[in-house]
Amino acid sequence: MTYVLTFIIALVVATTATPVSMILAKRWKAIDYPGGRRVHKRPIPRLGGLAIYAAFWLAVYLTQGWDQPIWGLFFGSTLILMVGVWDDIRGIRPWTKLLWQIAAASILLFYGYNMYQVSLPILGLIPFGALGLLLTVFWIVGLVNTVNISDGLDGLAAGICFGAALLLFWSANRIGMEDAGNLTLALAGATLGFLFYNFHPARVFMGDSGSMFLGYVIGGISIMGLLKTATVLGLVFPLLVLGMPLTDMAFAIIRRKLRGRSIAIADRGHLHHRLLDAGLSQRQAVFLLYAMSASFGLVAVLGAVGSWIWATVLLVANFILLVRILMRRPGLMGVLSRRHGK
């Protein structure tokens, strides 16, 4: 019953708070104007992250007792939200933003979050020692930027994170992590409530305040799972459910380095841009990316229940499809264009 209540509270708060965030965005001039690599056609407020943050933490506050890890997640996510809000309003240089992300991730270290050891299949327990602290920070910062990079089309990042939250709930529930399960359902309710306003045609964007907050919370919850079981499952789940944007980010880094550009400078080579250039509409591209993300999530579930052969086959198929799109193979892109034209 607590699970259902948590989800409903987050959903209702997000649904009612998102219009308020739109008003604040207009008052504070946090507006995303069209042009450049952006695909929208009119100015849109971009402080939806405030509504997601409020919905998530109010639901957690009303339904769950707070222990040390949750306090750490609260303080760290609040800092990352504040950095995102400032970036949405005034703008922050990429490397300065990265330093703030590292600072926010480091807060978790003082509240017991760590990757001191991980149990891997066949290899057994692998101790990382002090290196586990660096891995923790790297993990959180990596997921923060993974979600951030996926926020390129109306409803894309919110929808992916909604699916990721549901799958993380399934994982947490399987290993008896009630606290983590509550957190994931609060995240699911918050993203779904926001998605009502963010799906195409979007009336509001989550901005960096929202995408960085979501990545931070997903990263923190996954480490909670690692602390509970010391198994790699706690890390594999978020890696797989976010497999699509992770692959996109990896290709973006490689692409920019090969071109001699800074990896912090955005371009129009992301997966969603390629699909739009192939002739798909925003909705078609988003639904296709939802399907890819769901396929990665299915890989995680199959692996968790021991169906490694099917998980491997599906994972390879997903990567082949992603790589073909990202490499702009004429055959696949032509097929996509023809389907859109019918």
105 has a pLDDT exceeding 90: yes
Average of pLDDT values for 79-93? Answer: 95
If phi > 0 it is left, if psi is from -120 to 50 it is alpha, else beta; for residue 154 that is beta
270 has a pLDDT exceeding 80: no
186 has a pLDDT exceeding 70: yes
Percent of the chain with pLDDT over 70: 85
233 has a pLDDT exceeding 70: no
When pLDDT is cut at 50, 70 and 90, the band that residue 98 belongs to is very high
Q: What is the pLDDT of residue 37?
A: 59
When pLDDT is cut at 50, 70 and 90, the band that residue 237 belongs to is low
**Per-residue pLDDT tens for 242-260?**
777 887 777 777 777 777 7
Average of pLDDT values for 119-141? Answer: 78
157 has a pLDDT exceeding 50: yes
- Put simply, whether the predicted model's pTM sits higher than 0.75 gets the answer yes
When pLDDT is cut at 50, 70 and 90, the band that residue 329 belongs to is very low
Average of pLDDT values for 226-235? Answer: 54
Average of pLDDT values for 136-146? Answer: 91
- Which of 96-100, 282-286, 289-293 has maximum average pLDDT? 96-100
238 has a pLDDT exceeding 60: yes
Average of pLDDT values for 206-227? Answer: 88
Lowest mean pLDDT among 157-161, 199-203, 300-304: 300-304
180 has a pLDDT exceeding 50: yes
When pLDDT is cut at 50, 70 and 90, the band that residue 229 belongs to is low
Pairing of strands 124-127, 44-45: unpaired
* Summary mean pLDDT of the chain: 84
Average of pLDDT values for 93-99? Answer: 93
Q: What is the pLDDT of residue 278?
A: 77
When pLDDT is cut at 50, 70 and 90, the band that residue 263 belongs to is low
Cα 329 to Cα 23, 45, 164, 256, 321, distances in angstroms = 43, 36, 29, 19, 10
